[in-house]
A and B are shown apart, each in its own frame.
Chain A
Amino acid sequence: QAVLTQPSSLSASPGASASLTCTLRSGINVGTYRIYWYQQKPGSPPQYLLNYKSDSDKRQGSGVPSRFSGSKDASANAGILLISGLQSEDEADYFCMIWYSSAAVFGGGTKLTVL
C-alpha cells in the first residue's frame, strides 16, 4: 500500500469548492506530519501552494490566493486541500507530499477538472 493515496481525478464546477484528499497509509498518523501541496499545469514545474500541520502551524506559498487552504481529517487519516471559488485556471494536477522516514514521499496526484 502506498504511503500517500490521492484520487486520480476530481471534477467540479466553476465557483464551487473542491476538496482534494491525501490519505496516509494505515499506521502513519496524519497528525504527526506536515503535508505539502503542489499544483502543476502542463509543461510547467510544480508550484508550491501551502503546507499544513495544524491550524497554528501552516504556511501559504508566496502569492498563493487564500482560496487555497489546508486542513486535516483525523478520522480519515487524511490531509485536505480545499479550493474555494473554483476558477478555470485551477484546472491542473495536484500533488501532496510528506517527509517520512528520512525521505520525501509524494502522492500519485489528482487531476482536477473544472467544468
Chain B
Amino acid sequence: EVQLVESGGGLEQPGGSLRLSCAASGFTFSNYNMNWIRQVSGKGLEWVSYISGSSTTIYYADSVKGRFTISRDNVKNSLYLQMNSLRAEDTAVYYCTRDFSDWGQGTLVTVSS
C-alpha cells in the first residue's frame, strides 16, 4: 500500500524558514516523480514544485521560485521542501504526491507574526 506521510509543518514568522518532509513507503520511491501541492483552507489547490525520480528535473511555481527548494533522498525514501523567506500567503496545507495520483494527508504551515 502506498503511504505518504508529511511532517515539519507548524507556525513560523514571516521571513522565517521551515523544512517539510514526506516519508514514502509501499513503492519503489526512486521510480516515481514527486510533487508538493498546497491548499489554503477552504480554497483551491496550488501546485508548488515537481522533482523527477532521479532529481534531474525540477520545476517550481512562480510564486515560490527562489524561496523554496525541493529535494529527495532515494535511499531514505523521502521528499523534502525547504521553505525560506516565508510569507503570510504561504499559509496552507502542504501535500506531497506520487506523480499526480497518490496524496499524503498533508501538513499545515502557518506563517504569522
Which residues of B have CB within 8 Å of A45? 95, 103-106
B2 to chain A, nearest CB (A): 9
| Least Cβ–Cβ distance between A95 and chain B, in angstroms | 6
Cβ of B45 and Cβ of A46 under 8 Å apart?
Answer: yes
Partner of B37, one of A104, A107, A108: A104
A48-B44 in contact (CB<8A)? no
Interface magnitude class on chain A = 10 to 19
Measured between beta carbons, the chain A residues less than 8 angstroms from B59 are 102-103
Complex Cα spacing A104 to B50, Å:
9
Main secondary structure of the interface of B (DSSP, over half): strand
Residues A106 and B47 in contact in the complex (CB < 8 Å), given A45-B95, A45-B106:
yes
Q: CB-defined interface of A32-67 with B at 8 Å, one 1/0 digit per residue?
A: 000010100000011110010000000001000000
Closest CB in chain B relative to A35 CB, distance in Å: 11
Q: Are the CB atoms of A48 and B37 closer together than 8 Å?
A: no
Query: When A102-B59, A103-B59 are in contact, do A48 and B46 touch as well, CB less than 8 Å?
Result: no
In the complex, which residues of chain B have a beta carbon less than 8 angstroms from the beta carbon of A97?
45, 47, 100
B33 to chain A, nearest CB (A): 11
B residues within 8 Å of A by Cβ? 35, 37, 44-47, 50, 59, 61, 95, 100-106
